[in-house]
Amino acid sequence: MDLLNMLLNAGGGSAIQQLSKNFGLSQDQTTSAISSLLPALGAGLARNASQPGGLDALLGALSSGRHESYLDNPEVLGSSDAIADGNGILGHILGTKEVSRGVAKNASARTGISEDILKKMLPAVAAMAMGVLSKQNAGAAFRAPGAAAASGGGIMGMLSGFLDKNQDGSVLDDVLGMLFKK
């Protein structure tokens, strides 16, 4: 299952219900917002993971953080701690606040949802995405080494859709393009 579907189905949909409540949106609007915000987050995660030492740093963050709690207890998504954690995640994967604002602006143009709401929602979505990846990472620890990679699963399997921009089945050309982009 891909990152988007895992996030949308987390906790039987309770995380989506909580975000809808927190931001005054319908569940369809919340789903649309997440669908529009997640590709930029996934691309940032994939880009960071493809850099030297990046995957190790991501796996370290996933194993040492408390990200799973955002899916297990979605009512904490609106807390100041969750927002601070989400903003920290955004800083790592998107870089600057200007990039985050651009992501919200683009998502607003696609969804018709207020840019201000999407800017406020972005940290919660980032925290939830890390929660999904954290759960995936914890599950991978119980599989035989190499099983996830061989089946196209694991963290990089979930992120490969964001890395394989031209959908040719190979991420190598896309990663090299990112590395040598001027």
Expressed as residue numbers, the domain containing 172 is 3-179
Which backbone phi and psi does 175 adopt, to 5 degrees? -65, -45
Cβ proximity of 97 and 88 under 8 Å: no
**What span, in angstroms and rounded, lies between the C-alpha atoms of 61 and 156?**
15
Per-residue pLDDT of the chain (182 residues; tens, 9 = 90+): 477 788 788 778 888 999 999 999 999 999 999 999 988 888 888 888 777 887 777 777 777 767 787 888 888 888 899 899 889 889 888 888 899 999 999 999 999 999 999 999 999 999 888 888 887 766 554 343 443 443 345 555 555 555 455 555 554 444 444 434 43
Opening angle at CA 95, ends 70 and 74, nearest 5: 10
Count how many domains the chain has. Answer: 1
DSSP string, the chain: --HHHHHHHGGGGHHHHHHHHHHT--HHHHHHHHHHHHHHHHHHHHHHHHSTTHHHHHHHHHHHS-TTHHHHSGGGGGSHHHHHHHHHHHHHHT-SHHHHHHHHHHHHHHH---HHHHHHHHHHHHHHHHHHHHHHHHHHTTSPTTHHHHTT-HHHHHHHHHH-TT-SS-SHHHHHHHHT--
Q: What is the pTM of this model?
A: 0.76
